[in-house]
Amino acid sequence: MGFRHSESMPALSPVDDDSSGDERMTDGDPHPHVAPPPAPNVRDAHCFSSCVDLNSMCSSNTSDDESSVVINSSPHRRASAMSPHLGLKKVLVTGGAGFIGSSVAMHLLARGDSVVIVDEMNDYYDVRIKENNLRRLREMCPPEHHLVVYVGDICDEEFMLSVFEAERPRWVCHMAARAGVRPSIQDPFVYIHSNIRGTTHLMELSHKFGIENFVFASSSSVYGGSKSTFFSEDECVDNPVSPYAASKKACELLAYTYHHLYRLNVTGLRFFTVYGPRGRPDMAPFKFIDRVSRGLELQQFGDGSSSRDYTYIDDIVDGIVRAIDRPYPYQVFNLGKGSGTSLREFISIVEKHVGRDAIVNVLPDQPGDVPYTCADVSKAYDLLGYSATVSFDEGIRRTVRWYEDEYVKNICVEPETQANGMGRAASFAEIRSVVAA
């Protein structure tokens, strides 16, 4: 079924896994993904990253290991770009104990915003990793800032209503979701529950409580088997190849419905394979670094020619915050690096920074996987001022450094025991608690 193209909704017709600091951190910083503390005048410095000059951002968008990213900017589209909201915000961050959610929360707190986190703390991967993320947030949150953490399921109507009534957030950053292509094929029902039902419930509360902007995580997986060189938001994404991708497409459609019916400002962000320090242990960048470091065999699905647009966490957080600050009526944006890295090159870069050769076991392609993902980020460039600045080589170098300096010494959870469709918790928490930071 075709959809008519409009200014607020890209046309949808037939076509991997997803899963902003005020300034970028220097290479020598031990935590490059942590935003710096706010300037003395927080309100003046509040949206510095949202207003960074595009030309200066793109001047650093070339790396030694990748070709320059070509952004096909549209002057007409840039003319319609929205200026960022500059006031301090109270933001509800769902999935705030996870990799992306906690990174966004850290940035928001650092620039002066108040943050309300909701996370069910399920054991899709080791809960200790999420607990460590929350600990870091509490430690970096100075007394004058406000951080509240709720543990519970976003699908629990009574629980979420109580959160909205008690906290009265004005902005929503919805990062909570069941992620992963392969696990979704094994157990599609939990993805319908968490991703579709959970997102719908949050949008229903958001329109009733007058939320100013609702930003949520979609995924590059919605592009399915597209043959395009660069995936554009204008492409048709009517042919998802996994339940996970289908759930994300459904959320995009429901988001437009809530915009149409209630004038809820909604932005969906299609993430392209996010990685970096504190990343999910079921994702390839983490697993490859871990297994090469330990001298264990790693699995290569296919002949190594498949390619992904791997995007460093700093760049993803920058794009998310830019979207939060700009309450567009309805938009969908790609957030990626804008260039692909083949699996063979990926393994080679990991070997270089770990300092060991990989033991590779070549296996057939997996059902639901797509051969190539690469983001056309020109729309996000024009309307958000977004442009990735961290090359894959540099991102892996930083991630290896974090793995060696922090992860091995303090956490050390074996990725082979994590997620991948095995031993996952149900998508609801039976016990809820409220923790005030």
What pLDDT sits at residue 70? 61
Stretch 81-94: mean pLDDT: 95
**What is the CATH classification number for the domain harbouring 98?**
3.40.50.720
Q: For 377-386, how does the pLDDT look when each residue is reduced to its tens digit (9 = 90+)? A: 999 999 999 9
Looking at the structure of the chain, the number of domains it has is 1
What pLDDT sits at residue 141? 77
Stretch 186-210: mean pLDDT: 95
Name the residue type at position 96: G
Q: For 139-153, how does the pLDDT look when each residue is reduced to its tens digit (9 = 90+)? A: 987 666 689 999 999
Name the residue type at position 401: R
Q: Is residue 220 part of a domain?
A: yes
The residue among 434 and 247 whose pLDDT is bigger is 247
Q: Is residue 308 part of a domain?
A: no
Alpha carbons 99 and 103: distance in angstroms, whole number: 6
The range of the structural domain enclosing residue 109 comes to 42-272+314-338+377-389
Q: Is residue 19 part of a domain?
A: no
Classify residue 297 as exposed, middle or buried by CB count within 10 Å of its CB (0-12, 13-18, 19+).
Answer: exposed
Any idea which of 6-20, 157-171, 371-385, 418-432 has the lowest mean pLDDT? 6-20
β 90-94/171-174 pair status: parallel
What pLDDT sits at residue 304? 85
Provide, for the chain, the percentages of residues in helix, strand and coil under a 3-state DSSP scheme, each rounded to the nearest 5.
40, 15, 45
Q: Is residue 325 part of a domain?
A: yes
- Which are the catalytic amino acids? 244
Q: For 4-41, how does the pLDDT look when each residue is reduced to its tens digit (9 = 90+)? A: 333 333 333 333 344 333 333 333 343 334 344 344 34
What pLDDT sits at residue 181? 84
Any idea which of 159-173, 191-205, 301-315, 356-370 has the lowest mean pLDDT? 356-370
In this prediction, what percent of the chain has a pLDDT beyond 90?
59
Q: Is residue 50 part of a domain?
A: yes
Write down the H helix ranges in 225-340.
243-262, 284-294, 313-325
Rg, C-alpha atoms of the chain: 20
Name the residue type at position 49: S
Q: Is residue 253 part of a domain?
A: yes
Q: Is residue 412 part of a domain?
A: no
In this predicted structure, the answer to whether residue 245 has a pLDDT above a threshold of 90 is: yes
In this prediction, what percent of the chain has a pLDDT beyond 70?
76
